[in-house]
């Protein structure tokens, strides 16, 4: 794929944002956003300041000026939930559904006029990428063609990806994902662009991790001062978070802090869907206990009477050491004492798709309460927040402000969670897994 133009050569013009949970974060940039003049600190700077506040050779010139204010006035933000559903995963008739993810990608790329920036863990958009011939690769192949056609339309393309890429051992052709597209919201697009620029800056030869990051990477939108705007006419607050802390310039909310803030504010219900749940470290040996999120769930259920539901994925690559932690969580549940903490396992049947490696799994990472929706990219274990790159989105709308017949983002996400929770693919810890599609059999 030809990626001649780098982001440092491009004007940042953003009115579309796609946060695709799992492998890819895409920013389609079509109009300039502006930043407020005052902001609160959401993520502390790492390390001592250096003269001029630059910290290293890293540099990026963000856009500015009157044009941004003109585009901001034309903004009318809109958020659409999107998802990918593996083949043969059937929902009950009449079940809620989000927009198909492949359709959303196509619409975004077709709408791009100036630049597209993609941050992705890996690429495996075609069958040959992983050595298989399967019809499920058709949407990925169509998307790859769209990306290749961007330069023919004078739309610049910049891609930041992990090095080395693990594409040969990974695939998203048959993975259940959930994400969000935010349309026509230039301030959020520009803010997410700053996170992309942290990846891009560190991908240059001999790059040095800045301590602190230069000021032009700083965020003006965070949990203390979120974007306040109208999404489809509904008053809305929204902000992005990031991990690890070393990739949080001044003002950026840390991803773990965003999760804990949403959990701590819940008073009625807290529903979370994650691929993996470990109150420990995962990639350091010996492992260390890390009860931060585990404690937050227990406190919500036990101390505040919040109805907690946790939906965790299980597939053939699941570490079976996860299940004692899940049983420990559920053991706290005591309806007679108004303590409700339920856990289920979501299993995507492999069926006749066993030829596709590292697939057939619910890869979503999201959480919803009566007050906010969180959509992220991190599994729930310590390493994903301390040493792995990720992005989160927190959105909050009030039901009383929704138009007649409309619904809040929280309500839409809650309906998608309950669809999965009540489906035949979700099995309680006291149940029994069907088939051989999960390392745990109940």
Look at residue 88 in the predicted model and tell me its pLDDT. Answer: 60
DSSP 127: G
Look at residue 357 in the predicted model and tell me its pLDDT. Answer: 43
Residues facing 178 on adjacent strands:
83
Alpha helices per DSSP H over 217-371 = 255-265, 292-304, 323-330
On whether the CB atoms of residues 58 and 215 are closer than 8 A, the answer is no
Look at residue 349 in the predicted model and tell me its pLDDT. Answer: 78
Look at residue 39 in the predicted model and tell me its pLDDT. Answer: 27
Each residue's pLDDT tens digit, 381-401: 999 999 999 999 999 998 877
Look at residue 127 in the predicted model and tell me its pLDDT. Answer: 54
- Closest to 305 (Cα-Cα) out of 346, 345, 333: 333
Residue 227 half-sphere exposure toward CB, CA atoms < 13 A: 29
Look at residue 163 in the predicted model and tell me its pLDDT. Answer: 72
Distance of CA 157 to the CA centre of its chain: 21
Q: Does domain 7-428 have CATH number 3.20.20.80?
A: no
pLDDT means per 10 residues in the chain (442 residues)? Answer: 34 37 37 29 37 44 43 72 74 75 91 92 62 65 89 94 56 67 95 96 93 96 97 95 97 98 98 96 94 98 98 87 95 96 88 44 88 96 95 93 82 95 90 66 62
Look at residue 155 in the predicted model and tell me its pLDDT. Answer: 96
Q: Where are the domains of the chain?
A: 7-428
Look at residue 91 in the predicted model and tell me its pLDDT. Answer: 65
Look at residue 219 in the predicted model and tell me its pLDDT. Answer: 98
Per-residue CA distances from 204 to 9, 173, 210, 378, 422 (Å): 14, 30, 13, 25, 47
Look at residue 93 in the predicted model and tell me its pLDDT. Answer: 61
The single residue listed with the structure tokens 């010139």 is: 61
């Amino acid at each position: 794929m030809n990626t001649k133009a780098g982001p440092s050569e491009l004007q940042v013009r953003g009115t579309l944002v796609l946060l695709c949970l799992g492998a890819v974060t895409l920013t389609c940039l079509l109009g300039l956003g502006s930043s407020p003049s005052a902001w609160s600190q959401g993520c502390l700077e790492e390390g001592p300041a250096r003269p001029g506040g630059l910290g290293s050779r890293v540099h990026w010139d963000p856009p500015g000026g009157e044009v941004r204010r003109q585009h901001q006035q034309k903004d009318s933000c809109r958020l659409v939930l999107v998802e990918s559903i593996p083949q043969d995963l059937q929902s009950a008739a009449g079940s809620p559904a989000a927009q198909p993810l492949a359709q959303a990608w196509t619409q975004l790329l077709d709408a791009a006029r100036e630049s597209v920036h993609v941050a992705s863990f890996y690429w495996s958009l075609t069958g040959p990428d992983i050595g298989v011939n399967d019809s499920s690769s058709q949407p990925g192949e169509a998307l790859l063609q769209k990306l290749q056609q961007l330069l023919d339309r004078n739309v610049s393309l910049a891609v930041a990806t992990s090095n080395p890429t693990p594409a040969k051992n990974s695939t998203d052709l048959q993975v259940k994902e959930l994400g969000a597209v935010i349309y026509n919201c230039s301030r959020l697009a520009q803010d997410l662009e700053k996170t992309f620029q942290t990846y891009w800056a560190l991908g240059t030869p001999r790059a040095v991790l800045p301590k602190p990051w230069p000021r032009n990477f700083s965020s003006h939108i965070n949990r203390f001062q979120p974007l306040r705007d109208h999404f489809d006419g509904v008053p809305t607050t929204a902000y992005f978070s990031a991990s690890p802390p070393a990739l949080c310039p001044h003002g950026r909310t840390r991803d773990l802090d965003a999760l804990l803030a949403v959990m701590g504010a819940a008073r009625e219900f807290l529903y979370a869907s994650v691929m993996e749940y470990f109150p420990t470290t995962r990639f350091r040996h010996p492992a260390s206990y890390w009860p931060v999120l585990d404690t937050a769930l227990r406190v919500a259920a036990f101390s505040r009477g919040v109805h907690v539901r946790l939906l965790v994925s299980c597939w053939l690559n699941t570490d079976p050491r996860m299940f004692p932690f899940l049983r420990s969580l559920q053991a706290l549940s005591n309806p007679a004492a108004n303590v409700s903490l339920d856990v289920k396992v979501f299993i995507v049947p492999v069926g006749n798709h066993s030829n596709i490696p590292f697939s057939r799994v619910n890869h979503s990472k999201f959480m919803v309460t009566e007050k906010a929706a969180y959509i992220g990219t991190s599994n729930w274990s310590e390493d994903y927040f301390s040493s792995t790159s990720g992005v989160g989105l927190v959105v909050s709308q009030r039901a009383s402000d929704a138009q007649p017949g409309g619904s809040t983002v929280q309500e839409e996400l809650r309906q998608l969670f309950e669809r999965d929770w009540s489906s035949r693919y979700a099995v309680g810890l006291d149940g029994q897994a069907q088939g051989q599609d999960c390392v745990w059999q109940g």
